């Protein structure tokens, strides 16, 4: 689908997250350079798409930003700097364990790849959401926590009556919405979404993306949306970064990237998706022409 982004050519808002010369290696034999000298700036209220084929380093970069990497992965250079609305910038690489615990999910949250399977199967939805407030907002009363849990579910289009349900009692789309609600619970200024709609059918995917756009417009958070689905990013993103072999090979507004792709890899990605209006192809000896 051809993008229609009002923000193309518009002045960007103030920066909220800057990623500077970020490199991540997997310390195995031989060493794998998963992310190579990546620099990006995310602006307030912006949806920044991150596209690329599987294995190009998109998820590794996301985990590195929020410092959730596990060995043998290691950040070897660069930094991720959060810019709060008030106060001095915060270099996440310099935060200790307790500081990270306080900042993570409160300022930057993440919806993980395979999020539908991230919920604890033996704990109710209410208890899983409420645990966020118990940990990060200890001053809230039980009544306030319960009210907030219901409000969050309704905000993402799920009836608050489902709070008493367990994950297996919800559809895939509902579980995904619950994960988005949990990521929004503390009203972060940045949300990183790693392939959040991959396992969903196109109708549910469309509903969740519309809900996400509405919430972004309402609450003003910025989004890094990671997927291999470039047509989807063309529709929802303000800007798109194309990643290949750990590097950003092209960064442009969605409309510009669609109409004037500069890198050969970007052109190949765009050409890999069939057109709904073009000529029908035919199979000849196992190939498509």
Task: Tell me which residue range forms the domain holding 58.
Answer: 1-107+189-274
Last residue of a domain, one of 143, 162, 187: 187
Provide the 10 A C-beta neighbour count for residue 96. Answer: 8
In a domain, 39, yes or no: yes
Contact present, 238 and 47 (Cβ < 8 Å): yes
Sign of CA pseudo-dihedral 28, 33, 37, 40? negative
Angstrom distance (rounded) from CA 128 to CA 165? 11
Sign of CA pseudo-dihedral 138, 139, 142, 144? negative
Cis peptide before 72 (omega within 30 of 0): yes
pLDDT above 90: residue 4: no
pTM: 0.88
Q: What pLDDT sits at residue 282?
A: 41
Residue 180 and residue 212 share a domain: no
Last residue of a domain, one of 154, 187, 220: 187
Residue 126 and residue 39 share a domain: no
In a domain, 95, yes or no: yes
Average pLDDT over residues 143-158: 93
Last residue of a domain, one of 164, 187, 210: 187
In a domain, 194, yes or no: yes
Residue 243 and residue 183 share a domain: no
pLDDT above 90: residue 5: no
- The per-residue pLDDT for range 246-282, each reduced to its tens digit, is 999 999 999 999 999 999 999 999 988 776 665 554 4
Angstrom distance (rounded) from CA 141 to CA 138? 8
Residue 217 and residue 243 share a domain: yes
Residue 140 and residue 214 share a domain: no
- The per-residue pLDDT for range 166-193, each reduced to its tens digit, is 999 998 888 988 999 999 999 999 999 9
3-state secondary structure of 147: helix
Q: What pLDDT sits at residue 275?
A: 67
Q: Classify strands 190-194 and 15-26 as parallel, antiparallel or unpaired.
A: unpaired
In a domain, 3, yes or no: yes
Average pLDDT over residues 125-148: 94
Q: What are phi and psi of 21, to 5 degrees?
A: 50, 50
Structure tokens at 264: 């050969």
pLDDT above 70: residue 10: no
Residue 246 and residue 178 share a domain: no
Identify the CA nearest to 73 among candidates 26, 32, 31: 26
**Better pLDDT: 261 or 8:** 261
Residue 98 and residue 26 share a domain: yes
Q: Compute CA distances 8 → 3, 162, 181, 187, 258, whole Å.
A: 10, 39, 29, 27, 11
Residue 237 and residue 103 share a domain: yes
Residue 51 and residue 5 share a domain: yes
Residue 201 sits in a domain of what CATH number? 3.40.50.300
Residues in CB range of 257: below 8 A, 6 or more apart: 234, 240, 242, 250, 266
Residue 97 and residue 200 share a domain: yes
Taking phi over 0 as left and psi of -120 to 50 as alpha, with beta for the rest, 55 belongs to left
In a domain, 113, yes or no: no
Residue 177 and residue 43 share a domain: no
**Tally of domains in the chain:** 2
Length of the chain: 289
Residue 82 and residue 17 share a domain: yes
Proportion of the chain above pLDDT 70, given as a percent? 90
Contact present, 34 and 24 (Cβ < 8 Å): yes
């Amino acid at each position: 689908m051809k993008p229609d982004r009002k923000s193309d050519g518009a002045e960007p808002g103030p920066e909220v997250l800057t990623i500077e010369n970020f490199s991540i290696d997997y310390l195995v034999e031989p060493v794998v350079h998963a992310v190579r000298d990546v620099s990006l700036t995310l602006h307030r209220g912006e949806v920044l798409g991150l596209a690329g084929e599987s294995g190009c380093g998109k998820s590794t970069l996301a985990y590195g930003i929020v410092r959730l990497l596990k060995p043998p992965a290691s950040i070897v250079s660069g930094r991720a700097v959060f810019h709060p609305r008030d106060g001095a910038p915060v270099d996440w690489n310099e935060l200790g364990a307790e500081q990270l615990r306080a900042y993570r999910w409160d300022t930057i949250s993440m919806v993980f790849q395979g999020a539908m399977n991230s919920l604890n199967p033996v704990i109710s939805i209410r208890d899983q959401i409420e645990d966020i407030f118990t940990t990060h907002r200890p001053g809230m009363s039980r009544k306030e926590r319960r009210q907030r849990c219901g409000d969050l579910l309704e905000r993402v289009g799920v009836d608050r009556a489902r709070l008493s349900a367990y994950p297996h009692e919800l559809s895939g789309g509902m579980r995904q919405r619950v994960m988005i609600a949990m990521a929004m619970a503390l009203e972060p200024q940045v949300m990183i979404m790693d392939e959040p709609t991959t396992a969903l059918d196109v109708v549910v995917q469309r509903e969740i993306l519309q809900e996400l756009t509405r919430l972004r417009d309402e609450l003003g958070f910025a989004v890094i949306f990671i997927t291999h689905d470039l047509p989807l990013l063309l529709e929802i993103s303000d800007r798109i970064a194309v990643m290949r072999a750990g590097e950003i090979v092209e960064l442009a507004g969605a409309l510009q990237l669609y109409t004037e792709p500069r890198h050969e890899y970007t052109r190949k990605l765009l050409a890999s998706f069939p057109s709904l209006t073009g000529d029908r192809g035919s199979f000849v000896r196992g190939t498509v022409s």
